[in-house]
Structure 1
């Protein structure tokens, strides 16, 4: 097979159907960008899980004057109740599960609250007595938080026991659903891209039906005839895939690293180095799907 002749046919096909080729590039770019976004979101979820699960704490919120429940009778937790809780935390039964703990009283909780909500009108109507005194626990094994919850739930002076991991799980579930939604949208867009590639190949073949007829008369094989058309589809999709890969890395570089890391430095974010795995995946998906679509389209056309 003469490579020069094949490449010449490829260039001719791309030039004749330039507007359709641009459409293929754009559809492939958009669809694979969604795929790249889904991959990046999964990477971000895993990054955040690794960062936060090790830092997740269990909070034992104590009663205030404003709580009414089975363990809170509308009175602030007493010093005796606080001492009893602290003795339980230091007991031989719980010590193997607790890495460290610290106590936050009303004034400390109010200081943190005012710093967190600085400039918010809620600060003006909140008093220290309204905020729970809290024992914050870091566990040796965060997955064993049920032991702490079972021990302190329902005892006098304790309003509630909260495992931050449960809150994190909700956030990660939402991010996971968002990434799967992006994958679903990307799947629909990829189907559209494959159909567009198929249509492009059939149009290109139809516009060159005389050349195809001549090649058949001189004994050219189906493989020789099909190769330029398949390469046209691959090249069109490859351009879109490369653009999608560049866009994915650019989002991580300029939005995540240059903006989120600077303005919201409370968690760990996916890095540019980690995002570099996305372009090869997108290129692989684009090349494989376009080759399949082009192969099916030209094979069906040549059988007509």
Structure 2
């Protein structure tokens, strides 16, 4: 490799958008191409028309038409770079599909989250409703609202933690299956995203349980004794 090629590969490896790079000599490219087409095209042509190249594997967040166009423009400005090639139509198609899929996934996630909140809230309210007379009795003998709420909140937080852990196990299995089925997505390689998702699910499960329990107990604490029968 020439000094310029070596410097280019090093600068690409250090770029923020680069995940990995690999140098492919024209000899290696010719050998690979011959294997793909099943014949030695060098014998037919009499020379090797291929060029030395550097394959650049980008990070997922940079695989977009605008980002790739900007990167290609920057690299093309170098005198010793003859061509920057990538499948523009495929990238555009993938970007559009990802946007569509992302929208529907977000919509479905929002709907399922809303339904989950309703179910959890209803279950907690029914559970506390069955103990409304106990709550009022404790209040009548002098127990404070905080003292009455505490066991209900802790119980439902524990249930929320258990539910969140079960959900995380199911989510982990689903992501593992998707990673095996579609390895090109590299789902399990983005550790920050996985931490954010798993942490969000866990915190959301606990938070929903706490908020629902607080307001459910507060409702019965504020009711008059006569209203408990309705």
Shared fold per TM-score greater than 0.5: yes
- What is the match of residue 54 of structure 2? 138
Residues 19-67 of structure 1, C-alpha deviations (whole Å, 9 max, x = no match)? xxxxxxxxxxxxxxxxxxxxxxxxxxxxxxx9986559xxxxxxxxxxx
- What is the match of residue 218 of structure 2? 299
* CA separation of 1:289 and 1:213: change in aligned 2, threshold 3 A: closer
- What is the match of residue 3 of structure 2? none
**d(CA) in 1 for partners of 2:51 and 2:133?**
83
Match of 1:270 among 169, 185, 188: 188
What 5-or-longer segments of structure 2 have no aligned partner?
Answer: 1-15, 40-48, 59-67, 78-83, 224-230
- RCO greater where, 1 or 2, for CA within 8 Å and sep 6 or more? 1
Q: Is the 8 A contact 1:51 1:268 kept in 2?
A: no
Query: RMSD across aligned C-alpha pairs, in angstroms?
Result: 4.8
**d(CA) in 1 for partners of 2:32 and 2:145?**
79
**d(CA) in 2 for partners of 1:212 and 1:267?**
52
Residues 225-256 of structure 1, C-alpha deviations (whole Å, 9 max, x = no match)? 22233234323332221012112333344552
- What is the match of residue 63 of structure 1? none
**d(CA) in 1 for partners of 2:108 and 2:222?**
33
- What is the match of residue 120 of structure 2? 197
* CA separation of 1:181 and 1:164: change in aligned 2, threshold 3 A: same
TM-score with structure 1 length normalisation?
Answer: 0.45
Confirm whether residue 171 of structure 1 aligns to residue 94 of structure 2: yes
* Offset at residue 148 of structure 1 (A): 7.6
TM-score with structure 2 length normalisation?
Answer: 0.56
- What is the match of residue 209 of structure 2? 290
- What is the match of residue 174 of structure 2? 251
Aligned residues: 186
2:188 partner SS: coil
Counterparts in 2 of 1:14-33, with a 5 A limit?
none
**d(CA) in 2 for partners of 1:108 and 1:204?**
67
* CA separation of 1:162 and 1:242: change in aligned 2, threshold 3 A: same
- What is the match of residue 188 of structure 1? 111
* Offset at residue 114 of structure 1 (A): 6.7
**d(CA) in 2 for partners of 1:241 and 1:172?**
32
* CA separation of 1:146 and 1:295: change in aligned 2, threshold 3 A: same
Q: Is the 8 A contact 1:245 1:282 kept in 2?
A: yes
**Structure 1 stretch displaced more, 214-223 or 238-247:** 238-247
Q: Is the 8 A contact 1:253 1:272 kept in 2?
A: no
What 5-or-longer segments of structure 1 have no aligned partner?
Answer: 1-49, 57-98, 116-132, 151-160
Confirm whether residue 240 of structure 1 aligns to residue 156 of structure 2: no
**Structure 1 stretch displaced more, 206-215 or 173-182:** 173-182
1:138 partner SS: strand
**d(CA) in 1 for partners of 2:50 and 2:185?**
23
- What is the match of residue 36 of structure 2? 112
